[in-house]
A and B are shown apart, each in its own frame.
Chain A
């Protein structure tokens, strides 16, 4: 069985939330001027902070963090090298977004102060909105590729529980779920009710997909001896049932309740939902590492 890989748990979950926020901002920005400038700014700041924390956490996994730059050396076959490259490119794309968010605030202030809006200002605003969408799109694509690379690191023939599509789907579903919920929290006063409803529906879709996929994944595990050992570990661990309660069942109940009763404006419920889902995903990621059983020599020592 694996270990509590805290640096990796923090790196993957925080990195996925950061990229999830950017993806959600891009999605909300699909129609020009649909995304509130303040939410864009908040989202960019929070995602950047989380991305920096994630990258710092990843260093603690290494025996020699001072030589981490060397991890870029084997792009030809190592998914870890590709992951590092894509996360660095995502961070560079984020710096561009950060600059954009600073410029956008100042241009708005100038526009608000002016007595009349000129045609040139409208054209500049349109150009800015287009650039913003492009910037968010590029950051999202790079980030999602980085997350897929992160997942591919674990697709190892030695570990049957990982040697399938599971890691990629788990990582992308975490991105979708936590990205949407944190964006909801950030935009609780800035999002339109329709946008909130859309994000809640997306979160519900991710939670249901995560639960259904996990059931299929668990049923596949028993095909090999090592996979069956992973499954036995999961089912007998109290952490797994805590993960199921916090990460699947409680969020499902809350999400259905919020959508059914049109309570999209209930900030406390959204905050509770985000915390529960976040805890569930952290436990889920811990179990991902803890339950890994590799094919190994079974002879006596």
Chain B
């Protein structure tokens, strides 16, 4: 594999508008139940000062994808650019990948009785476009990046956030920029 594409999410910029969720639903006309992308709010008590902070997460196109390892029908493949693609035509709905993923991103579609997940808009990327969620993010909090040592060595780039599973489990291809907590004055 020559490179690993992934997401960089900047929580300082994210306002929790869920535009990325909607763009994803709109692009693929996904049924109501499976949510390929989801916006989460971090617990305020995880930070030294009260902070309202969000992060957006879809499939993390992990370097060691558990979904790919456990799938009995080879519905998952990893492209040369690191994107983990799920082929619904091969899926038989055994749901083993949904048990194995610590991020709960492959989800069963109850109507189709098959698993679905984000394929990082690989067809858009192949056409030189940005993924739908990235293109729709108004504050520019979500970016498509190449995950490498250069990115990891940049100041402020984090591999995980409080409330997320350990990245050691699957080596997810997502990085974060945490919130900058300014001075807070409380009037108690």
Query: Which residues of A come within 8 Å of B, CB atoms?
Result: 61-65, 67-68, 70-74, 77-81, 84, 153, 156-159, 292, 294-301
Establish whether residues B41 and A159, one from each chain, have CB atoms under 8 Å apart when the complex forms.
Answer: no
Q: How many A-B residue pairs have CB under 8 A?
A: 109
Judged by a CB distance under 8 angstroms, whether B103 is at the interface is: yes
Establish whether residues A64 and B102, one from each chain, have CB atoms under 8 Å apart when the complex forms.
Answer: no
Judged by a CB distance under 8 angstroms, whether B58 is at the interface is: no
CA distance A296 to B104 in the complex (A): 7
Known contacts A64-B113, A294-B102, A301-B40; is-contact A73 B165 (Cβ 8 Å): no
Establish whether residues A300 and B40, one from each chain, have CB atoms under 8 Å apart when the complex forms.
Answer: yes
Establish whether residues B96 and A77, one from each chain, have CB atoms under 8 Å apart when the complex forms.
Answer: no
Establish whether residues B55 and A158, one from each chain, have CB atoms under 8 Å apart when the complex forms.
Answer: no
Establish whether residues B92 and A156, one from each chain, have CB atoms under 8 Å apart when the complex forms.
Answer: no
- The 8 Å CB contact of A71, one of B43, B92, B166, is B92
Q: How many B residues have CB within 8 A of the partner chain?
A: 40
Interface SS of B by simple majority: loop
Establish whether residues A64 and B114, one from each chain, have CB atoms under 8 Å apart when the complex forms.
Answer: yes
Judged by a CB distance under 8 angstroms, whether B49 is at the interface is: no
Give A70's nearest chain B residue, CB to CB: B73
Establish whether residues B38 and A295, one from each chain, have CB atoms under 8 Å apart when the complex forms.
Answer: no
Known contacts A68-B92, A70-B90, A300-B41; is-contact A80 B72 (Cβ 8 Å): yes
B residues in contact with A61, CB < 8 Å = 94-95
Establish whether residues A299 and B100, one from each chain, have CB atoms under 8 Å apart when the complex forms.
Answer: no
Contacting residues of chain B (80-139) with chain A, CB-CB under 8 angstroms: 90-96, 99-104, 108, 112-114
- The 8 Å CB contact of A300, one of B42, B71, B90, B113, is B42
- The 8 Å CB contact of A63, one of B71, B99, B108, B162, is B108
A-B pairs, top 3 by smallest CB distance, nearest first, are A63-B93, A63-B113, A299-B163
Establish whether residues B114 and A158, one from each chain, have CB atoms under 8 Å apart when the complex forms.
Answer: no
Establish whether residues A156 and B70, one from each chain, have CB atoms under 8 Å apart when the complex forms.
Answer: yes
